[in-house]
């Protein structure tokens, strides 16, 4: 092999290793797709690198849907062989781009102190990363004060970032060991609770939602100041996790705006 192809192969190996490490680095976020990169840039991320198989197609998309970040996308993105990108980020939406950015600093006390009436979302042991991402996306849209999650999953998992379209950068998002102590009323969202009344929903509530399979734990239900249900048609057992987060956050938002 002559030196140019050898150098290109070494560069590709280095890049693959760098991305593999970033996926397991708790200080970094791996953003797959243009919309994740766009939102990350809009909400203050400072990506370290971004790789695209077709930078021209990416630029056209940026010009069409996000001219505000176009220049930064162009300056950031390096071209990469399409087969290599497909191997490194097989689920990146087209036109494929994968970016690496530092996660923002998270301060739990500061998030809990947020004086606005807007709630915090507490997800107890969510298991489906796409669903977790969808919760973060809707919480960003509703301008929630934070999304906290307990259990085994990292809310900054690349699949959750893809599901949230990178909106983790729009509000504080972090894993916590359990429901944090605070002056916020703890409201458990549970199909067995009292019917949701947006007017009676406490300002600055910590809204707790259970896992997809098991719902909320007895410990959390016992600790809650109130249990609330979203009234459903008879025969329907429950709503999807992200859907129920959307209903409650927007009931509160529509009341307050």
Ligand X SMILES: C[S@@+](CC[C@H](N)C(=O)[O-])C[C@H]1O[C@@H](n2cnc3c(N)ncnc32)[C@H](O)[C@@H]1O
| 48 or 232: CB nearest ligand X | 232
| 72 or 137: CB nearest ligand X | 137
Helical packing angle, 34-42 and 67-76, nearest 10°: 110
Least Å distance between CB 214 and ligand X? 6
Contact residues for ligand X (CB under 6 A)?
A: 189-191, 209-210, 212, 215-216, 229-230, 232, 238-241, 244
DSSP 24: T
Least Å distance between CB 215 and ligand X? 2
| 45 or 147: CB nearest ligand X | 147
| 100 or 135: CB nearest ligand X | 135
Q: Strand, coil or helix: what is 190? A: strand
Interstrand relation of 186-195 and 97-102 (parallel, antiparallel or unpaired): unpaired
The answer to whether 38 and 66 have CB atoms below 8 angstroms apart is yes
| 55 or 210: CB nearest ligand X | 210
Least Å distance between CB 189 and ligand X? 4
Interstrand relation of 49-52 and 97-102 (parallel, antiparallel or unpaired): antiparallel
| 56 or 232: CB nearest ligand X | 232
Q: Strand, coil or helix: what is 30? A: strand
Least Å distance between CB 84 and ligand X? 38
CA distance between the termini of the chain:
65
Q: Is the dihedral of CA 125, 109, 254, 226 positive or negative?
A: positive
Least Å distance between CB 163 and ligand X? 16
Least Å distance between CB 229 and ligand X? 4
Burial of 154: CB neighbours in 10 Å, binned 0-12, 13-18, 19+:
middle
Least Å distance between CB 193 and ligand X? 6
The answer to whether 254 and 198 have CB atoms below 8 angstroms apart is yes
| 119 or 191: CB nearest ligand X | 191
Question: Count of alpha carbons within 13 Å of 161, Cβ hemisphere only?
Answer: 29
The answer to whether 149 and 177 have CB atoms below 8 angstroms apart is no
């Amino acid at each position: 092999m002559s030196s140019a192809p050898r150098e290109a192969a070494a560069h590709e190996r280095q890049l693959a290793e760098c991305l593999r490490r970033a996926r397991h680095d708790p200080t970094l976020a791996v953003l797959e797709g243009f919309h994740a990169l766009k939102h990350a840039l809009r909400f203050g991320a400072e990506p370290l690198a971004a790789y695209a198989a077709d930078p021209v197609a990416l630029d056209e998309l940026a010009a069409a849907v996000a001219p505000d970040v176009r220049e930064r996308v162009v300056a950031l993105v390096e071209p990469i062989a399409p087969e290599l990108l497909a191997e490194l980020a097989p689920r990146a939406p087209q036109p494929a781009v994968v970016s690496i950015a530092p996660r923002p600093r998270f301060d739990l006390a500061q998030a809990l102190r947020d004086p606005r009436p807007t709630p915090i979302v507490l997800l107890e042991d969510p298991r489906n990363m796409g669903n977790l991402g969808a919760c973060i996306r809707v919480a960003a849209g509703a301008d929630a004060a934070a999304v906290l999650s307990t259990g085994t999953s990292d809310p900054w998992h690349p699949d959750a970032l893809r599901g949230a379209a990178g909106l983790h950068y729009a509000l504080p998002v972090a894993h916590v060991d359990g429901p944090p102590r605070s002056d916020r009323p703890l409201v458990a969202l549970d199909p067995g609770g009292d019917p949701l009344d947006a007017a009676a929903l406490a300002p600055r509530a910590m809204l707790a939602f259970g896992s997809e399979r098991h719902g909320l734990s007895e410990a959390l239900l016992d600790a809650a100041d109130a249990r609330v249900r979203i009234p459903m048609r008879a025969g329907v057992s429950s709503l999807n996790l992200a859907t129920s987060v959307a209903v409650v956050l927007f009931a509160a938002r529509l009341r307050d705006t």
